[in-house]
Structures are given as C-alpha cells and as structure tokens.
Chain A
Amino acid sequence: MQVNWKTYKITGENEEGIAELFAEYVRKEQLQFHGVRSALYLLTNAAGSDSSIKFWGNALEHSPRFANPNIFPWTLANATAGYLARQFSIEGPNYTLVSSILDVNDILEIYELEKAELQLESAMLIVWECQEENALTVNVQFGYFG
C-alpha cells in the first residue's frame, strides 16, 4: 500500500482553531471517506492540556458558575479527533491515544487490525505533536489510507 504522509506545522489561537486549520488542509486534498467504513486514529502527546489550563483559569477568573462553556469540550484530548470525524463524516472507530513517544506504528498497527476486522475502506492517521514550549503550535503528520 502506497501512502503519502504529509506534514504540517500549524499555529492557532486555541486548540479548536488549530483543528479547524488542519481540517482546511485536509479538505483541499479532496479525499473520500466512507461513513462507518471509515476510521480515524490520532496519536498525541498533549491534546487538551492547553484548553484544560485555560478553562480552569477562566473558571477562577469568572467563578465556576460563569466559566466559558465553549472551552470545555476542548479540554478533552479526543476533541480534535471528534471534530475531524464531524468534518469528514467518519463514523467508524475514532481513536485518540496519548503518548510522550509519538511512534506512528502505535496507531498503524491498530488500523491494520481493524481494516480487516471491520472492512474499512478509508482511514485518517494523524500524529498530533503539541510543542512543549508552545502548546498552540502543533506538528502534524497525516496519512490517508483509502
């Protein structure tokens, strides 16, 4: 199987913004996804951490009663994978793995097993590396399997 891995360096104002920018890049590729026969595998070192810190900071500033509710879903590490699934109607398995060692083989092996098990026709594999010094800059490695 020939897979073209692409890499991006994306900087945004918040985690939602970074996910939106990445989705725009993917959309330009005009890739095909197949509903429940599509899957998404995302491996990250720290997705959700920046939003978690911001959300609690917001709660401390305004009181937990008045914290900005729009930040909360992005405190979850799987928010980015969920967002991308919505953008491309990927209705099969949706993974977010967290690891300090970002080895694409960790998600590749799950995909290979599920491709056969679930007769997947397409999949998105993503390594989402939040930079330690600035969590709002993300190095993305992206592969489409179709």
Chain B
Amino acid sequence: MGVVCSIADTIEDFWQALISKRCGIREWEDLRTLNFKYTYAHRISDVECDPLWRGFELAKKTISQALQQASPNSKSRIGLFLGTTMGESAAFEAIAEGNRDIAPHDYTGDGICRKLRKHFPQIIMHRCFATACAAGNYALKAARQALITGDIDIAIAGGVDPFSKIAMTGFSRARAMSPSGLCRPFSADRDGMVLGEGAGFLVLERVEGAAPSSRVLATLDGCALTCDAFHPTAPRPDSAGIVQCFYQLSTLTSTDFNSIDWVCSHGTGTKLSDTSEARAIGKTFQEKIPWVSSIKAHIGHTLGAATAIEAIVCVLSIINEKIPPTVNTESSDLGLEIPSTPISRPINRVLNCGYAFGGLNSITQFSKCR
C-alpha cells in the first residue's frame, strides 16, 4: 500500500498520525490572496513538480511505495485502476487563466494513467473511473473483477486528486465548507467539510495465486454500487440508496451485518451528508450498530482519493487491531458511537463507505485473511 496526504507520505507515518490524532489543516495565504471565502485546507506542502502534473506526481509516489512493499514478480501482468474526480484540475484552471497551449483532453484522469504507464512500463492496461468522491471504491471493484477473470496477475488500485481551486470554489458555493475550518464528522456542532488532497493505492492479487513470499494483509471481499437518482448534489432524505447499497454488499459477500467490527465512514462533516449516512447505518444495523469513524477531520476530503485512502485505513486497522479515532468529534447526536480515542480490539471485518455528487453510493468490504 502507498499513501500521500496532508499528514503523512508513508504508510507507517500515516497510521501513527491517525492514531495520535494528528490533523493536517492549515490556513493558506494563496487562497486568501485569491479572495476565497474559506482559506483553510489540508494540502501537501512539499511536492516539487510541474504544477499541471501534481496529480500524476502524487500517484507516482504512492504507487512506487505500494510496489516496493508488495514486490510483485517482474513477469506479472499488472493492471492500473485509478479513481479521480477531476484529474489535473490545475490544467483546467490554467486554461481558464488564458493558457491556450494546454489540451484539456491530456489532463483528465486517463491522461494521468497514460503518464503513469510510461513511468511504470510493467503496467499493461488501465481503467480510469471519474466517479467523484466514490471513485476509489469503483477502482477497487474493477481491480478485483479483473483479477477474478484472470485478465491480470496484479492490480494497482486506488485514487488521486491534487488540490483543486475549482473544487474549493465549488464546495464553498455549494455551502458545504466549514466556516469554523474544523471538520467534525457526525458531531452535533458539525458545520461542514474541509478540502484535502492526496493519493492512495493498494496492490491486489488473488489469494490463491499469491507468491509464497507475499504477505497478505487483508482480503477485499466485494464492492456494492448504487445510485440515488434523486438530486445532483444532495442525498436522498430517506437514505434508501445507501441502505440498498449495504444490502447489495451483504448479498454479494454473504455477510451477516453483526460480523462488522467498524464502519470506515464517508463522514464529511456536513449536516446533510452525515445525517443521511447515519440514518442509513441505523436502518441497516438494526440489532447492533458497529463503531463508526471518519478520517476526514485528519486529512480533509480528498475527493477521488478518499475511498482509496480509507481502504488503506481499513486494512491498517485489521493489521494493527485498532479502530482509528475521529478527530474533533467527542460525541454524536445521530445515534452513532464515534471513537474519540483509538479502540484496541481484534478487527475481522470493516466496511469502507464513499458517497458522491451525482447520487453515487459505494461500499467495499475488507476482512482479515484466514
């Protein structure tokens, strides 16, 4: 696995930062200069690269980490499955600022994939999912499917989104941003999200085909996808689309909801989204609601990278037998138990939830490898 975000650029540091409740938020002078209403964000401060290819750079760094850890056989057929919201947002911003030499088609998520394939020539195919904040889960599902069908031996799956002034403006104008600059998922006094950036990638292979030297960290059991078909940006008031997504996952994986140890939630900190998510969890887990935690207060909302980075959190929680805490949230008024400190316990099964504009609902399930 590999990760880059506002609080860490290695897997080890990332987990320590989560457990020690480190938060990557800062105020940014350039946003103030540009007259943004909200000037706090979770950005990565030490990336040296062509600003138009920041997403590529983050993905490259993260994939390198993941491949180094997994050390796949050099003859393996590798597929790349990448989720993103906007691709290289800075390129579209530059065009709007008057740079007419830039071809927008080159800077989509597919453009990032093509550049990654040049850098990692062992990748023989790629798919790019532009499914906004659920994109990482889409990539994981497609990667799993490609491994099952035998099209590839190894999958690199994840998501990336560099910091986007377009997204910063859009979420601000959608009144989704936190005026206090504090993301407080599921808390009664939550007042919105804070934007982040980052990348997260996981190396997947079939358990039965894994090399003897492979250390299997966890299994990806399945992924469910539904669509609210209700509103461009707002969730359904009855949360039916998310509930349906939970049930689809349960059917696909034959999982009893009582066996879920915790839910790695979408948990953006906005009034509407957190309420909808909590309602869906309440409807789904009628007997016993598991722990629910969100890392968005630590690293911000990393959009297309979010569910990929959160998938890494799921795996790390299984390995380390700990549920990470939710920063800035001491209690919830939504009927959920949110850990404000790390919870040590055996973790056998975790759900990774991501929802997106366009009404997209996605949930992946990770389990301890038997």
Contact = CB atoms under 8 A, between A and B. Distances in A.
A94 B37 contact: no
A24 interface: no
B105 A48 contact: no
Contacts of B128: 97-99
A97 B129 contact: yes
Interface string A115-128: 00110000000000
Given A55-B166, A55-B169, A65-B172, A79 B96 contact: no
Interface stretch (B130-138, B178-186, B327-335): B130-138
Contact of A135 (B86, B104, B233): B104
A76 B108 contact: no
Interface string B95-113: 1110000011100111100
Interface in A20-42: 36, 40
A73 B170 CA distance: 8
Given A49-B104, A82-B232, A132-B103, A76 B358 contact: yes
B267 interface: no
Interface in A39-91: 40, 44-50, 52-57, 59-60, 63-65, 67-69, 72-73, 75-79, 81-83, 85-86, 88-91
Contacts of B138: 95
Given A76-B130, A86-B229, A98-B108, A52 B244 contact: no
A40 B110 contact: no
B252 interface: yes
B286 to A, nearest CB: 20
A100 B130 contact: no
B174 A94 contact: no
B357 A73 contact: yes
Interface in A91-142: 91-100, 106, 110, 113, 117-118, 130, 132, 135
A106 B36 CA distance: 40
B132 A78 contact: yes
B130 A82 contact: no
B147 interface: no
Contacts of B252: 117
A47 B244 CA distance: 28
A50 B108 CA distance: 12
A53 B170 contact: no
A113 B169 contact: no
Contact of A52 (B114, B166, B231, B241): B166
Interface residues of B, number: 59
A47 B269 CA distance: 29
B283 interface: no
A64 B104 CA distance: 22
A22 B127 CA distance: 25
B96 A57 contact: yes
Nearest to A82: B358
Interface residues of A, number: 56
Nearest to A106: B127
A82 B226 CA distance: 11
Interface in B52-111: 85-87, 89, 92-93, 95-97, 103-105, 108-111
B226 A49 contact: no
Contacts of A60: 96-97
Contact of B232 (A63, A79, A97): A79
A55 B230 CA distance: 24
A53 B96 contact: yes
A113 B165 contact: no
Interface string B211-238: 0000000000000011111111100000
A40 B190 CA distance: 34
B169 A59 contact: yes
B173 A72 contact: yes
B110 A99 contact: yes
A48 B357 CA distance: 13
Contacts of A98: 87, 108-110, 128-130
A92 B174 CA distance: 26
A53 B103 CA distance: 12
Interface in B330-368: 356-360
Nearest to A56: B96
Interface of A: 36, 40, 44-50, 52-57, 59-60, 63-65, 67-69, 72-73, 75-79, 81-83, 85-86, 88-100, 106, 110, 113, 117-118, 130, 132, 135
Given A73-B233, A75-B166, 7 more contacts: A52-B89, A57-B96, A64-B169, A76-B132, A85-B359, A94-B360, A100-B111
